[in-house]
């Protein structure tokens, strides 16, 4: 009897321990599910561009700030913006094209920044030695570019102010697809063309040469923004502030420990490390402004002043008419960033990098009236 009792006791104890473990594990799952979840759309092949977005995940900053992030694969900018509009995803960190949707009255809202700059003039192999910074050298050349690229429009408008630039002295070849344009430059069908950073390296591997970065003429021109759905933000604002805190922490690393961000982005994207360095961590040979002086810098700053300039340029180019029943200012929520940086400054009073970021935020969004 004693042996049977011992066996029964052992079995009972084992069952109790098993249920206890299951209870603890269930508690852990519940604790995780207590954190709000935001779905962020990613165009996977271009995931270096939203570098801080993926680095913050790799470094665990979202979880530490009290929000879970689920990355959702998106195949194009248009698909991403449509997914935000229909609330299939909460945030889309690519392109500033939501501005044209807003002009028509969409439900998009900009809650932060992602990156700026990212386009270069690339010379064909036969024109590697041409100095395209000397605007007189454009005469008689065929220059390829997207007819819908607003940054190309802005550059050409800027260059028209230079007496050495003859807007009628070269042929602008309209090629809307960057991959088709890349092939045209490689083959010499055009003498040079405007390529996004993702394709500049590919062009160089084929014997082409970067003539200049557009940021040399248009410093800190707008690129990808954090686009959300205004109803989603209004219904549950706190997780968006948490995401911005995570991104600001990643930006702090970007300034103070660049290798940490490069390594995180490299690990997440599985790209070559030298590609990531070339993309977001290469020093400029000119002063471009911003928290860092890298080419194609990444930052969560909303940059309202630049968004306003982009909107005005689009309207001037005839890309759209603003018919929405609200203003652009109504759909740029600066308070998300402002609350996030304020909280981080409370945690780290006197921190030079967060302090500088906040100063730049006030400068870059001064037209908003903050």
16-30 pLDDT, tens digit each: 333 333 333 333 333
pTM flag (> 0.75): yes
Residue 3 has pLDDT above 70, yes or no: no
Q: Residue 174 to residues 49, 93, 177, 208, 331: CA-CA distances in angstroms?
A: 25, 27, 9, 19, 32
The CA distance from 24 to 362, in Å, is: 47
Residue 48 in contact with residue 94, Cβ under 8 Å?
A: no
* Residue 147 CA: distances (Å) to CA of 154, 176, 187, 330: 12, 6, 21, 29
Per DSSP, 284 falls in state -
Q: What domains sit in the chain, N to C, each tagged with a CATH number? A: 37-117+221-368 (3.40.190.10), 119-216 (3.40.190.10)
Average pLDDT of 69-77? 96
Task: Tally the C-alpha atoms within 13 A of residue 245's C-alpha that lie toward its C-beta.
Answer: 23
pLDDT of residue 103: 98
User: pLDDT by residue (tens digit) across 319-343?
Assistant: 999 999 999 999 999 999 999 999 9
What is the C-alpha to C-alpha distance for residues 127 and 130, in angstroms, rounded to an integer?
Answer: 5
- Quick one: pLDDT at residue 286? 80
Torsion angle defined by CA atoms of residues 213, 217, 219 and 222, in that order, rounded to the nearest 10 degrees = -80
Residue-level pLDDT at 1: 41
The predicted structure's pLDDT at residue 32: 52
What is the predicted pLDDT for the residue at 11? 40
């Amino acid at each position: 009897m004693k042996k049977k009792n011992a066996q029964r006791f052992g079995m009972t104890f084992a069952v109790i321990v098993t249920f206890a473990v299951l209870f603890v594990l269930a508690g852990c799952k519940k604790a995780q599910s207590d954190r709000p979840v935001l779905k962020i759309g990613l165009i996977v092949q271009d995931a270096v561009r939203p570098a801080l977005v993926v680095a913050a995940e790799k470094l665990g900053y979202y979880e530490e700030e009290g929000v879970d992030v689920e990355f959702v694969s998106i195949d194009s900018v248009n698909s991403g913006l449509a997914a935000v509009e229909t609330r299939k995803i909460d945030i889309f960190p690519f392109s500033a094209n939501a501005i044209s949707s807003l002009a028509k009255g969409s439900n998009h809202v900009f809650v932060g920044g992602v990156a700026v700059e990212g386009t270069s003039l690339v010379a064909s192999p036969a024109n590697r030695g041409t100095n395209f910074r000397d605007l007189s050298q454009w005469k008689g050349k065929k220059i390829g570019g997207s007819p819908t690229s607003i940054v190309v429009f802005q550059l050409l408008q800027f260059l028209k102010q230079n007496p050495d630039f003859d807007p009628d002295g070269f042929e602008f070849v309209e090629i809307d697809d960057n991959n088709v344009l890349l092939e045209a430059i490689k083959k010499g069908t055009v003498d040079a063309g405007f390529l996004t950073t993702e394709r500049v390296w590919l062009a160089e591997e084929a014997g082409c040469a970067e003539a200049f970065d557009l940021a040399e003429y248009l410093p800190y021109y707008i690129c990808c923004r954090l686009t959300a759905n205004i109803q989603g933000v209004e219904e549950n604002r706190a997780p968006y502030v948490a995401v911005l805190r995570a991104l600001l922490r990643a930006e702090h690393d970007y300034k103070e420990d660049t290798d940490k961000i490069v390594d995180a982005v490299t690990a997440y994207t599985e790209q070559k490390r030298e590609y990531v360095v070339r993309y977001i961590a290469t020093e400029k040979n000119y002063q471009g402004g911003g928290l860092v002086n890298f080419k194609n810098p990444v930052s969560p700053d909303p940059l309202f002043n630049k968004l306003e300039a982009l909107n005005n340029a689009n309207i001037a180019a005839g890309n759209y008419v603003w018919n929405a029943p609200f203003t652009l200012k109504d759909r740029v929520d600066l308070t998300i960033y402002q609350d996030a940086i304020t909280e981080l400054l409370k945690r780290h009073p006197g921190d030079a990098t967060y302090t500088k970021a906040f100063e730049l935020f006030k400068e870059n969004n001064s037209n908003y009236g903050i």
